[in-house]
Chain A
């Protein structure tokens, strides 16, 4: 399944790339892309693993750019 997350206040493009790389390496993630311009992160993963992955992804985002709001659509 695919989930879209809005990353409000995403300011640093370099950080966006870092987030993408880190989330991609999470267990169970098929693909992940962060669009710096539309401020969206898209995660493709299996349905049962999704909740866990979203929680992990949020941690990663907060770690890289603490000001970003992580809003699950």
Chain B
């Protein structure tokens, strides 16, 4: 609790005690003069509300007549004038209690937001002239060396020079599993160094570092306002004057007809008490901000409330294949061995490709080494002269000698060349059962001497949660999922089939993607939103064209952060349905608050007009509703 809040609490307690004394005095001493009673109530009134009165006076001087404080003072002074002393004091007391709770709730949510954004590093240990100095991260230049001890937050982006460690990226990605890093690996500011002491060469100044960019993004996200927020701002602008005018009419016209001034003035004063739209003005932006904060805690950066709002209405999802649904890296997905010895086939392939830098060659070597150990150890035999070096045949594959016979690793053309007497066609028909159809991945055939050994199928791998992503999107109300890819038809068909995506377009050039998205836009119904999900590298035009552009793998990629409206920090497409869920829940909270606040206010206005609701109810409709709406809005901070 802040000092100011404590002070206000003391005032409320003191006021409440005086108020009770006044009431007791009025009840127990019936002969007390009315003037003494009035003075007692007035003193209590000032104890409770002197700051409100002062504020109101200041506001009148500044020409702010539709201010909450002024209206509250007007209402209570009015109550004094029609001799409703206890009512006047009680309303002020209630108002103060409500305001106190409101401030308390605002403070609390400000604190939670601060905690949420508590990834800003406070200091950096920089190595200068052989000493380690602790300085503000802003003072460290690009190229300097910094030291990060276990338990410390990484202050700036850089590359590890010495040491190895594991880091906690939770604050940035929502991912709880630590990442292992070695010398030469990049470290990202905002993460926490867990286990080892590392020395890092700074690659970006603080202003350009990931942590600064993320914080700026989250903080500024409130300036891109959602439609609902704009509606509330407009509503607020009209609400207060309208209620005040209604109050004036209510005070004057029925009084002129009935002559019963005090009754109608009392009812009109209740109107003034309800005339602040505070509940809406605070709780709606708070809900959106909370939703954005909750998303960022889960590794989803949303650049504005408007995008969070729009995401709930997404019905069409256009997704890039490579790098979004698939890992974009090749891996062995199937080995076929004629003599059932898969290890042998993989060994020949890895042995043949061990010096190549081609991605496919690398994945063959990786696949062998991951399961069976180093291939290179065996290559020492090269030295004894019985074997020839690797011979590369461009467009075919590679040839290499192993234990006296030639190993061939490559495509079909190479097999035709290697295997004598038309053996290849025979093998194709009897063993492989392959028709003319083009395979989905890349096939690498292996022969040893003049016998065919088998093949290895190499494919781009689906991401682990790609299936979950597609299923989740459907569940969240996406009615049409379209996959776009520059890859070949067959590869696209296989991935789409595995994920249950029925609509895809393959062999697209980057420019074609925009045209496709335009076509899909044409089939969009009123009020529906289209999202595009890409890796942010070469999809910038499409990301910009879509209603909501979502980029994957934002951690460490400035391009992705710049280009998209929503950035998924990790490589997990499963976060997209999660983002939609958070968006929908946030909108739900916003709607609840709007309905609740406007509903209660209109109800109490009506009841007050007919003399059923007292001023007490009016105070509840004002500050009580605001307090409850804020508490409800704070739920958005905890969404998952």
Task: List the interface of chain A (C-beta within 8 A of B).
Answer: 9, 11-14, 17, 33, 35-40, 42, 63-64, 66
- Beta-carbon contact of B4 and A9 below 8 Å: yes
- Beta-carbon contact of B113 and A12 below 8 Å: no
- Beta-carbon contact of B278 and A13 below 8 Å: yes
**CB-defined contacts of A33 to chain B, threshold 8 Å:** 222-223
Q: Select which of A12, A37, A63, A64 is within 8 A of B109 by beta carbon.
A: A37
- The interface size of chain B toward A, counting residues with CB under 8 Å, comes to 25
Q: Select which of A14, A37, A64, A66 is within 8 A of B113 by beta carbon.
A: A37
Give CA–CA (A11, B623) in the complex, Å. Answer: 14
Q: 4 tightest CB-CB pairs across the interface, nearest first? A: A33-B223, A13-B282, A13-B281, A63-B62
Task: Enumerate B583-630 residues with CB–CB distance to A below 8 Å.
Answer: none
- B273-314 vs A: 1/0 string, CB under 8 Å? 000111001100110010000000000000000000000000
- Beta-carbon contact of A11 and B219 below 8 Å: no
CB of B245 within 8 A of chain A?
no
CB of B55 within 8 A of chain A?
yes
* Closest chain A CB from B291 CB (angstroms): 12
Q: Select which of A17, A37, A63 is within 8 A of B236 by beta carbon.
A: A17
Give CA–CA (A30, B277) in the complex, Å. Answer: 28
* Closest chain A CB from B106 CB (angstroms): 7
- Beta-carbon contact of A35 and B276 below 8 Å: no
CB of B103 within 8 A of chain A?
yes
* Closest chain A CB from B194 CB (angstroms): 30
* Closest chain A CB from B305 CB (angstroms): 11
Across the interface, name the chain B residue whose C-beta is closest to A64.
Answer: B64
Q: Select which of A36, A40, A42 is within 8 A of B282 by beta carbon.
A: A36
**CB-defined contacts of A17 to chain B, threshold 8 Å:** 233, 236, 281
- Beta-carbon contact of A35 and B236 below 8 Å: no
* Closest chain B CB from A5 CB (angstroms): 14
Task: List the interface of chain B (C-beta within 8 A of A).
Answer: 4, 55, 58, 62, 64, 68, 103, 106, 109-110, 113, 219-220, 222-223, 233, 236, 276-278, 281-282, 285-286, 289
- Beta-carbon contact of A13 and B285 below 8 Å: yes
**CB-defined contacts of B219 to chain A, threshold 8 Å:** 35, 38, 40
- Beta-carbon contact of B68 and A12 below 8 Å: yes
**CB-defined contacts of B286 to chain A, threshold 8 Å:** 37
**CB-defined contacts of A64 to chain B, threshold 8 Å:** 62, 64
**CB-defined contacts of B113 to chain A, threshold 8 Å:** 37-38
Would you list 19 pairs from A and B whose C-beta atoms are within 8 A, ordered by A residue? A9-B4, A11-B103, A12-B68, A12-B278, A13-B278, A13-B282, A13-B285, A17-B233, A33-B223, A35-B219, A36-B285, A37-B109, A37-B110, A37-B285, A37-B286, A37-B289, A38-B113, A38-B219, A63-B64
Q: Select which of A9, A14, A66 is within 8 A of B68 by beta carbon.
A: A14
- Between A13, A17, A33, the greatest number of chain B beta carbons within 10 A of the residue's beta carbon is seen for A13
| A42 touching B223 in the complex, CB below 8 Å, given contacts A37-B109, A37-B286 | yes
* Closest chain B CB from A71 CB (angstroms): 16
Across the interface, name the chain A residue whose C-beta is closest to B107.
Answer: A11
- Between A14, A38, A63, the greatest number of chain B beta carbons within 10 A of the residue's beta carbon is seen for A14
Give CA–CA (A14, B69) in the complex, Å. Answer: 12
Give CA–CA (A39, B110) in the complex, Å. Answer: 9
* Closest chain A CB from B537 CB (angstroms): 28
**CB-defined contacts of A42 to chain B, threshold 8 Å:** 220, 223
Give CA–CA (A12, B279) in the complex, Å. Answer: 11
**CB-defined contacts of B110 to chain A, threshold 8 Å:** 37-39
Across the interface, name the chain B residue whose C-beta is closest to A67.
Answer: B55
Give CA–CA (A43, B629) in the complex, Å. Answer: 30
**CB-defined contacts of B282 to chain A, threshold 8 Å:** 13, 36
Give CA–CA (A13, B287) in the complex, Å. Answer: 14
Across the interface, name the chain B residue whose C-beta is closest to A20.
Answer: B233
